[in-house]
Amino acid sequence: MTSQPNMANTNQPNFPQVEGGASLILAWQIKNKTVLVVGGGEVAAGRILNVLNADANVIVVCPSSGLNPEVRHRIDSSEVTHIDRFFEPVDLDALPPSNAPPDMVLVAIDDPAASTQIWKLCKEHRIPANIADVPSECDFYFGSVHRDGPLQIMVSTNGKGPRLAASIRKWIGNQLPAGVGNAIERIGELRIKLRKMAPNHADGPKRMRWMTRVSDAYSWDDMCALADEDMDNLLKFYQSGKVPELHALKAMRGGKAPEDLDVFDGSFGFSVVA
């Protein structure tokens, strides 16, 4: 009797394989959230800058004698609120000025036993925390970040090689074209203008397709060079779904309408990206 081939695995879906051991890298929106920083040294200063850049409300708990010059500057400039004492468990229940629990806790002190105790208290209160230099006592890590205006690129080694992460981040930053942050800023402004012009939810797919064409049609330098008048003129092509070449767009300066340009005679044209 002839055996039949095993057909069980012939139609297996080609899905990505799971690779464990990673962190879930997210952009955590903490604007106007309360972040408690325990400590006032060099590491605390870096943590404070990170969360201030994300527009958080920062409370620093540390005796004045333990403040380094940068943290003291943040306090003197009223960029953070300072509580001049050591951490107390009550800090996880209510903090000024809102008298509410912190949304995040960052610990950067040279006392492993005290750090672990704070970590355990945070777990009891279900408050996400990061204990500097103790990966096992961290709900999240700080990666090495390249920043250029709205552009942020984070490199993480999951705590295994921070110095290597910094080197990779510098290499990536050096490969990016100059002005990329400004170009992204201009794209963001154009999206805001477009959403005001076509605000309905049903317009979403068309807006996304047209913005993709705009992003593909112009270089970084071209986007940086667009004036407000250029962006207003560019929006005139949205309904048609077309994107004018840059020299055609510049020719509209001074109040010329698209129909005033001889856009189909070879001098001007449309660059429509599928």
* DSSP track, 133-195: T-GGGBSS---EEEEETTEEEEE--TTS-HHHHHHHHHHHHHHSPTTHHHHHHHHHHHHHHHH
The enclosing H or E element of 98 equals none
Q: What secondary structure letter does DSSP report for 265?
A: S
- Please tell me whether residues 121 and 220 are part of one structural domain: no
Place of tokens 């963001």: 188
- The pLDDT, as a whole number, for residue 179 is 84
Q: Is 82 helix (H, G, I), strand (E, B) or coil?
A: strand
Taking the CA atoms of 163, 168, 169 and 170 in sequence, report the sign of the dihedral they define: positive
Q: Are 126 and 120 in contact (CB under 8 A)?
A: no
Residue 151, pLDDT score: 92
Nearest CA-CA partner of 46 in 139, 166, 148: 166
pLDDT reported for residue 244 = 92
Burial of 4 (0-12, 13-18, 19+ CB in 10 A): exposed
Contact 152, 181 (CB under 8 A): no
164 lies in the same domain as 202: no
Q: How many domains does the chain have?
A: 3
**pLDDT on residue 269:** 44
Judge contact between 141 and 158, C-beta under 8 A: yes
What CATH number does residue 159 fall under? 3.30.160
Per the structure, the complete domain to which residue 67 belongs is given by: 34-142
- In the chain, the DSSP E strands lie at 34-38, 57-61, 81-83, 104-107, 129-131, 144-148, 151-155
Taking the chain (274 residues) in runs of 10, the rounded mean pLDDT of each run is 56 87 90 97 96 97 97 98 97 91 97 96 97 91 90 88 90 89 91 94 94 92 87 93 90 80 46 42
151-155 and 104-107: which strand pairing?
unpaired
Chain-centroid distance of CA 52 in Å reads: 13
CB 235 within 8 A of CB 193: yes
- Positions marked catalytic: 133
Q: Residue with structure tokens 């001889």?
A: 262
The answer to the question of residue 265 being in a domain is no
Same domain flag for 153 and 134 = no
Determine, yes or no, domain membership for 11.
no
Residue 120 identity: K
Domain stop point among 132, 157, 176: 176
Are 138 and 38 part of one and the same domain? yes
24 within some domain: no
* 26 in a structural domain: no
| CB atoms near residue 205 (< 10 Å) | 9
In a domain, 12, yes or no: no
CA-based torsion, 61, 67, 71, 76: positive or negative: positive
